[in-house]
Chain A
């Protein structure tokens, strides 16, 4: 509620939602901060706390260290990021921010290459998520029907989730090396002779499949949790009525795991703009920009060309996108809560 009310008050830029959420947080640093007595806090607190203002002080103190540290760690960079986006940033001879107005913003919005990267990011996201959902749900359904051996199989299926994405990328390179890679040789046996990571289309497919390898287990794990909530007697009744397996899945199982799948989709979609390690260590955006998703472009702009102001604009675009996803996520949670 309060978040919605403050939404309109803040800045004119893409950072709106960010400042809004930050504002919500900053407002709360006070009550918990050391040195702020209970008296000034009591009025707003007392109205809402069932057990009186003393408890607020206690919970406020509990939150204070975390909130204070996070405040430093998130607000300073956020302000810095917004400032950078309106500046030309010089690193040599001491840090200097030279105000250039909307120059970086105009450049970013007029940059066809950047929009291509956004399109590619969307394609990468759709391809990875689509495959992960299909495979993850299928694995969960099969595992769920297993009478024995599930306790042994599930941990094996989960393994890729714990592998550092950068190692996934390096391992992918090892497996796909045209002269000795295990998978490359298998592909050559099937008649695919080219260097997989050297060709735009196959490179895109390869980095997609590496992401699928790593995160399908997460979808399977989440779906499995959802499947344990499907009412078995409903399934039985459907079988008695003559429904086949596919119909049961489509009409009973899928609708009942839909909320959980929505969670999975949102979690994966925020990760899609978070993780780029795999691409960074395999193709680093190439060949011919075929895998240059937005975070890779940001890194290139910032740390290869040191065009930090321009990179900041890309950063704010990404931040706005994730804040929108976070909003959907929180909305989903509170919607479920009221039911």
Chain B
């Protein structure tokens, strides 16, 4: 049993129609506006002064200022610390998941034994498990183990979804390469490790990078685990952002600035792997452009 199916290797030929009609163009413009306007508004907001950001008539043109960013990194706001926490937790979880996932995924792809189906199912259902159902017992276990409000605790929490994801998806990427290459390497006298290291690994470079990026995005964007497990010593950016919302009022300039800091790096790394994104996000069920 395996993961890799519904292959659609055929590239689109030159068969495309020029005019989709005025309706299609209007629809596309609207869809684009719907998608982009909130993000543009957020980035603009982060450069607005206190009067402009909550002006009762929306300000598209204003005097830009770095004030919000400066305030976040100085004085009572120690966003640098939270940024640090976010980077350590997300990168840590992504690296560990990708390394163990690459090894495990290769093992899973290149083996056949009776319990393989059950093992695969365990991986996929662990990946799909609702965070709320996982964080609840984890909270008690971590309290017992002294892992609440620590970065290692946060990394372990993120591994509960990143590790099964990485094993599963890497196994899909390895299964996509023909075993004949590795067989001939073995005939030529390579050990199994050499075959893996020099033949299989280079062929799945894109897959490994995609896996690492998605693991990074999943962990970096987490709110559900961090809101329970993190504390003053391990607070991450999304938590810092939500804590700016208080009963007494919200500094929307700072909040849009944090939002921009959280979103921008993920957009950059995410778009960098967009060719393999669809495979990663459908857990290997769809391969495409």
Contact = CB atoms under 8 A, between A and B. Distances in A.
A31 B242 CA distance: 46
Interface string A110-153: 00000000000000000000000001001100111111000001
A145 B56 contact: no
B163 A66 contact: yes
B266 A162 contact: yes
A288 interface: no
Contacts of A325: 128
Nearest to A332: B285
Interface string B196-219: 100000000000000000000100
Contacts of A232: 12-13, 15
A217 B278 CA distance: 11
Which bracket fits the contact residues of B?
35 or more
Contacts, number: 372
A119 to B, nearest CB: 18
Contacts of B221: 162-166
A25 B138 CA distance: 19
Contacts of A95: 140, 143-144
Interface stretch (A101-109, A173-181, A199-207): A173-181
B170 to A, nearest CB: 10
B160 A74 contact: yes
A286 interface: no
Given A281-B245, A337-B1, A322 B238 contact: no
A26 B222 CA distance: 28
Interface in A64-78: 65-67, 69-70, 73-74, 76-78
B141 A76 contact: yes
B71 interface: no
A331 B100 CA distance: 26
Contacts of A225: 8, 278, 286-289
Contact of A298 (B104, B132, B250): B132
Contacts of B250: 173
B166 to A, nearest CB: 8
B42 A171 contact: yes
B35 A319 contact: no
A167 B110 contact: no
A157 to B, nearest CB: 6
Given A162-B217, A226-B286, A263-B6, A49 B266 contact: no
A226 B9 CA distance: 10
Q: Which of B18, B128, B228 has the most chain A CB atoms closer than 10 A to its own CB?
A: B128
Contacts of B107: 32, 58-63
A327 B136 CA distance: 24
Contacts of B20: 142, 145-146
B35 A84 contact: no
B143 A91 contact: yes
26 contacts: A2-B118, A17-B125, A20-B118, A21-B125, A24-B117, A25-B123, A55-B111, A62-B107, A63-B111, A66-B163, A66-B166, A66-B167, A73-B159, A73-B160, A89-B140, A153-B28, A162-B270, A167-B241, A174-B45, A182-B37, A182-B58, A228-B12, A274-B128, A277-B238, A319-B133, A329-B283
